Structure 1
């Protein structure tokens, strides 16, 4: 444990109009059992009091640094700038409205030490509703070396969120960080690549908390998010076959815009149904009755079969929530991939 505590971790927090949640996020990192760290807050031209909140935090702890972009760069470039400023052996990411459990870094660093062939680790999460209450359980993948090998051999994608990932900084630099020309899905693209090329292993224990937001980039760019996810899957297979990978623009042209009209309309219907299922999940977890009904009806009209799967997903998460409260959240019955198919909140 002393060896692991000697390893420095650079914690990167991209922030945009995060005045209401930034202090809570930083506090959750500082309360952690692993103390050898630096916190790099990068403000992407916020228009609220994020700068004032960050300034107070910097005064309180010398491990915290604050940077403000000269213009709005977006989350990918903001993270990349901090990756190159980081001085830690490992880099951990946390969004400015999420939180960690105290043992998060301790567990993640032990996983890396116990599995030297793995260059990135992650973990399961809980949701945070709009009141900050922890609920439900977000499963993760891969959690075994067999599942990790499957990603390398079959082109599967991992199921991880940025706020759960800890990765060897040298690998991030080698791969160039996040794709800056992707508005959404850039985290899926990077973590899938890392999992396939270097190995990624995740803990089933929920070591962090993901806040449910109604106006996220995924909500705003729901169609681009789905296209990006499909592009990641296609490039995984191309990488395995030794073929040239497609840029996001190339994939969008070939596999969506160039489709015959009826196929394109059907594809749009399926993607819109997934978007409404995501909104349905958000509303349900936040106990918002009217939006839950509205999104439920819209999803049923667009894709009745998917609605049945969504209901099963919701009931499974209800069960997982109870299991997690009893300390057995690791016994998830629903695979991460299946959860994604039926409308998870990724």
Structure 2
């Protein structure tokens, strides 16, 4: 972290790659937050569209917005880690470049964390289409998830998470192309023993974009298995046990 700048309470990190279709909406949902003391770090991963120009346009008018441009395309994990290296805030929040937040997302989450002394929180979310219409009004998650609970139910959406680095310490995401967010939550829980707590409110709008990594159901199955076996290094019987629960929870969320 840079010592010559004032720390923001919350640092928000977004990896950006060819995100021009939805990026303005994402940035404005951050700017419209009722909680104002934040810095917003957008890390461009060599976009070939107008993403950088869009970010610079907002940056000129809002000095809380910061742009980092990677020299080569490296994937979301590297982009998020680059943002984490620059982040000054005690609290870290993430938002993907095609999602949007409710205006009280940061305020409500921070209030809960400070009131209850929670180090890791997430929220319920709605599913929206590429055009922004509601597909599902609420994806309801458990009230809390510890390490073993998250192995059974990996539904915490990256754009809903807030983490207190004063408690969990500095952290980075594993350098895998897909599924690095869930792998990070598991790593934090396993190494620190913290439990993640959920907010009942829908505070994030998760956009389902055709052809995106998050829309690839077969890919999700493969990367979850890879997380169990290779990142968390679970035994084969344990992997099968937690994987069966994961699949069941994924099916139930679709109902």
> TM-score when scaled to structure 1?
0.62
1:53–1:172: structure 2 CA closer, same or farther, 3 Å change rule? farther
Cα gap change, 1:232 to 1:133, in 2 (>3 Å): same
- Is 1:186 paired with 2:180? yes
1 CA distance for matches of 2:139 and 2:186? 17
Partner of 1:49: 50
Distance 1:100 1:154 in 2: 23
The residue that corresponds to 2:122 in the other structure is 122
Bigger CA drift: 132-141 or 45-54?
Answer: 132-141
**Alignment of 1:246 onto 2:242:** no
Quick check: which one's helix share is greater?
1
Structure 2 CA distance, aligned partners of 1:61 and 1:168?
25
Partners in 1 of 2:167 and 2:220 — Cα distance? Answer: 25
Instruction: Name the Cα RMSD after superposition.
Output: 3.2
Pair 1:74–1:154, CA change in 2 (3 A): closer
What SS is found at the alignment partner of 1:198? coil
Change (3 A) 1:223 1:170: farther
Report deviation, 1:78.
Answer: 0.4
Q: Cα distance, 1:218 vs. partner? A: 4.0
**Deviation string, structure 1 residues 41-73 (Cα, Å, up to 9, x no partner):** 111000001111111010110100111100001
Tell me the CA shift for residue 341 of structure 1.
3.2
Q: Which residue of 2 aligns with 1:148?
A: 145
What is the correspondence of 1:1-346 to structure 2 with a 5 Å cutoff? 8-116=9-117, 118-143=118-143, 147-148=144-145, 151=147, 156-170=152-166, 174=170, 176-180=171-175, 182-196=176-190, 197-219=193-215, 222-233=217-228, 245-246=232-233, 338-341=248-251, 344=254
The CA deviation at 1:110 is 1.2
Question: How far is the alpha carbon of 1:212 from its aligned partner?
Answer: 0.9
Q: Is the 8 A contact 2:123 2:199 kept in 1?
A: yes
Instruction: Judge conservation of contact 1:22–1:50 (CA < 8 Å) in 2.
Output: yes
Residues 67, 142 of structure 1: CA spacing in aligned structure 2 closer, same or farther, 3 A cutoff? same
Displacement over 2 Å in runs of 4+: 137-142, 151-159, 169-174, 192-197, 222-225, 230-236, 335-339, 341-345
The answer for the alignment partner of 2:4 in structure 1 is none
Question: Comparing both chains, which one has the higher relative contact order based on Cα–Cα distances under 8 Å and sequence gaps of 6 or more?
Answer: 2
Aligned length: 242
Partner SS, residue 124 of structure 1: strand
Asked if the contact 2:209–2:215 (Cα under 8 Å) also holds between the matched residues in 1, the reply is no
Shift in Å, 1:19: 1.3
Q: Given that residues 93 and 164 in structure 1 are in contact (C-alpha distance below 8 angstroms), is that contact kept between their aligned partners in structure 2?
A: yes
1:158 is displaced (CA, Å) by 4.6
Unaligned segments of structure 1, at least 5 residues: 1-5, 237-244, 257-270, 272-334
* SS in structure 2 of the partner of residue 29 of structure 1: helix
Q: Distance in 2 between matches of 1:172 and 1:212?
A: 31
**Mapped contact 1:125–1:207 kept (Cα < 8 A):** yes
Q: 1:56 to 1:136 in 2, by over 3 A?
A: same
Q: 1:229 Cα deviation (Å)?
A: 1.2
